[in-house]
Structure 1
Amino acid sequence: MDSTNAPQKPWALRHPIAFLALATLAWLGLYRALVPVSEALVAALPVDRASHLGSALQFFLYDTPKVLMLLTGVVFAMGMVNSYFTPERTRALLAGRSEGAANVMAAGLGIVTPFCSCSAVPLFIGFVQAGVPLGVTFSFLISAPMVNEVALTLLLGMFGWKVALLYMGLGLSVAIVAGWTIGRLKMEAHLEDWVRDMPKAAAQFDDPEATLADRIQAGFSAVHEIVGKVWPYIVGGIALGAAIHGYVPEDFMAAFMGKQAWWSVPLAVLMGIPMYTNAAGVIPIVQALLAKGAALGTVLAFMMSVIALSLPEMIILRKVLKVRLIATFAAVVATGILLVGFVFNAVL
């Protein structure tokens, strides 16, 4: 076959190091220009910058490209890293390990693996087939959507490393303790019969040698798959955050979600359960709530409940779990989230 007729690889794959260097410089340059560009756009509009509408528009015009750029950059980088953490490899790392240490390892793997709540059913089935203990499986399934790289990077970019590190520690603690608790309850009988009766499969995975160009291709694929799915939630979340930022009075938010209202934490958890979004969609709302005087513990509890206890996820999990196990899972995780909210409101 004449090699001259073969399709040529894109420039980025033929010169991967040069592409990564140029892409990083371009990303940093655009990111630094977001504030002046957003201010210039608002100034060009027939609105008063100091008005409610002007404030909301600036928030939206700044945060939308900021969050999308952060998300794209992180997903691309983690897409390259995640080529080492396929579902098969993750199952292989967890299968056959004792509980306790395995809960810690499972929660840690949740940070670097690209799985969200919509992946719960196939992952759950795969873990059961690989012989991963039930409690360890839950530690992973709690950590993966709640303490993923997208959430941590957006928190880092918006609130700084202290809040991001704090959230990571709290999320991992909830995932580890909740998984360990569910494991101690020995509730395997409350798996759906067809799941419990599946033959156990050996956890095997391939580890092919991959070039840097292959890793970059994996990054492009991750951006197309993940950003392509979540961007509507991001824009919707930022629009709601902009409305809160521009129009909701600070005194109202302080009274509704402040430290003084003891009921604010459980109410925030209940409010988060019916919502269907992810970390990328809820963090802009969190940012606006905090700016309006909401307490950090209350807002973190709201965020965790949206990500880890969403009603759509419970409906999906009903395919593989009986009602009692779902209720136990929700109760244990909700207890951990409530403790997080109350502790932070008490000490900060």
Structure 2
Amino acid sequence: MFEALANLIVYNGLKFSPETPVGAALHFFVMDVTKIFFMLVIIIYVMGLLRAMISPERVREYIRNRPDWQARGMAVSLGAMTPFCSCSSVPLFIGFVEAGIPLGVTFSFLIASPMINEVAAVILIGVLGWKLALLYIVAGLVVAWFGGLIMQRFKPERWVEAYVWKIQMGEVALPEQDKSLKGRHQYAVAEVKEIVGRIWKWVFIGIGIGALFHGFIPEAWVAEHLASGNWYDVPTAVVVGVPLYSNATG
């Protein structure tokens, strides 16, 4: 569908030839922009509905009084599926502590939540395919799991201020949301507008750079300089990627 639309716009409408660098670059740009924004709107809307239905309090109660390995698995999974905004992080942390959930488990949740970004996963599927997107998600889950284990080894409970242990969950103010179907829909639509409005320019820039590479840089050059098997290939790719990917979405 997206390739057909790109063919219609670039080759039939603008009359560019697929054999020219400009034509190939424009075709790549149009196809990827339409595909990625389509997937972004769908996935952000779905995740917005999920956020509206699952509150931090429900997450806390779900994990409470579970065995360590089971609680950690739930924490990592819920962290990946329910990326709460920063305004919920502190109340959620306090709620976990107050409920007696080990801080190692809490850190597993808090590591997974921002690291496994649904928007970045969608972009990876659109640009690099589902296998690399799956690898990104699995790597995030593994880092969150072992990151929480490492934090637990340091026994971070001893560094928590005494007043935190005395806070009751009822005293933690969380933003109220309209739980009706209409309210959830409005919340999800607002999420789409906010996130897409914040990242659209970076998506355009990223795809534009990719289109330039696709149209004007021969594959043989890329294979020679970044896929030749030399020891510096990965560090070079990292250095090139730093200015291009300033955050998970970018």
Tell me if both proteins adopt one fold, taking TM over 0.5 as the criterion: yes
CA shift in 2, pair 1:108/1:171, >3 Å? same
1:159 deviation in Å?
A: 4.8
**Cα deviations by residue, 1:316-340 (Å, 9 ceiling, x for unpaired):** xxxxxxxxxxxxxxxxxxxxxxxxx
CA shift in 2, pair 1:53/1:208, >3 Å? closer
**Cα deviations by residue, 1:132-152 (Å, 9 ceiling, x for unpaired):** 544334323332233233333
Provide the rounded CA distance (Å) in 1 between the counterparts of 2:201 and 2:75.
Answer: 30
**Cα deviations by residue, 1:163-210 (Å, 9 ceiling, x for unpaired):** 443332222112211221222133566x7xxx7455243345899994
Partner residue of 1:39? Answer: 7
Provide the rounded CA distance (Å) in 2 between the counterparts of 1:238 and 1:58.
Answer: 11
Partner residue of 1:199? Answer: 164
Whether 1:278 aligns to 2:243 is: no
Structure 1 segment 1-348 matched on structure 2, within 5 A: 32=1, 34-43=2-11, 44-45=13-14, 47-94=16-63, 99-115=68-84, 119=86, 122-130=87-95, 131=97, 133-187=102-156, 196=161, 199-200=164-165, 201-203=167-169, 210-258=179-227, 260-269=229-238, 272=241, 275-279=245-249, 281=250
SS, match of residue 199 in structure 1 = helix
Provide the rounded CA distance (Å) in 2 between the counterparts of 1:108 and 1:115.
Answer: 13
Letter in 2 for 1:90: V
Asked if 2 retains the 8 angstrom alpha-carbon contact of 1:95 and 1:203, the reply is: no
Provide the rounded CA distance (Å) in 1 between the counterparts of 2:226 and 2:162.
Answer: 46
Provide the rounded CA distance (Å) in 1 between the counterparts of 2:130 and 2:203.
Answer: 22
Provide the rounded CA distance (Å) in 1 between the counterparts of 2:222 and 2:77.
Answer: 34
1:123 deviation in Å?
A: 4.9
CA shift in 2, pair 1:185/1:155, >3 Å? same
Q: Give ranges in structure 1 of 5+ residues lacking alignment.
A: 1-31, 282-348
CA shift in 2, pair 1:208/1:65, >3 Å? closer
SS, match of residue 168 in structure 2 = coil
Aligned length: 240
CA shift in 2, pair 1:113/1:270, >3 Å? farther
Provide the rounded CA distance (Å) in 2 between the counterparts of 1:236 and 1:198.
Answer: 47
CA-based RMSD of the aligned residues comes to 3.3
Q: More relative contact order in 1 or in 2 (CA 8 Å, sep 6+)?
A: 2
Asked if 2 retains the 8 angstrom alpha-carbon contact of 1:233 and 1:277, the reply is: no
Letter in 2 for 1:277: N
1:60 deviation in Å?
A: 1.0
Provide the rounded CA distance (Å) in 1 between the counterparts of 2:178 and 2:14.
Answer: 53
1:95 deviation in Å?
A: 5.8
Provide the rounded CA distance (Å) in 2 between the counterparts of 1:137 and 1:277.
Answer: 23
CA shift in 2, pair 1:212/1:128, >3 Å? closer
Asked if 2 retains the 8 angstrom alpha-carbon contact of 1:258 and 1:264, the reply is: yes
CA shift in 2, pair 1:151/1:244, >3 Å? same
Provide the rounded CA distance (Å) in 1 between the counterparts of 2:102 and 2:46.
Answer: 31
SS, match of residue 102 in structure 1 = helix
1:84 deviation in Å?
A: 2.0
Structure 1 range deviating more: 258-267 or 75-84: 258-267
1:91 deviation in Å?
A: 4.3
Asked if 1 retains the 8 angstrom alpha-carbon contact of 2:32 and 2:207, the reply is: yes
Letter in 1 for 2:10: V
1:47 deviation in Å?
A: 4.2
Provide the rounded CA distance (Å) in 2 between the counterparts of 1:276 and 1:41.
Answer: 31
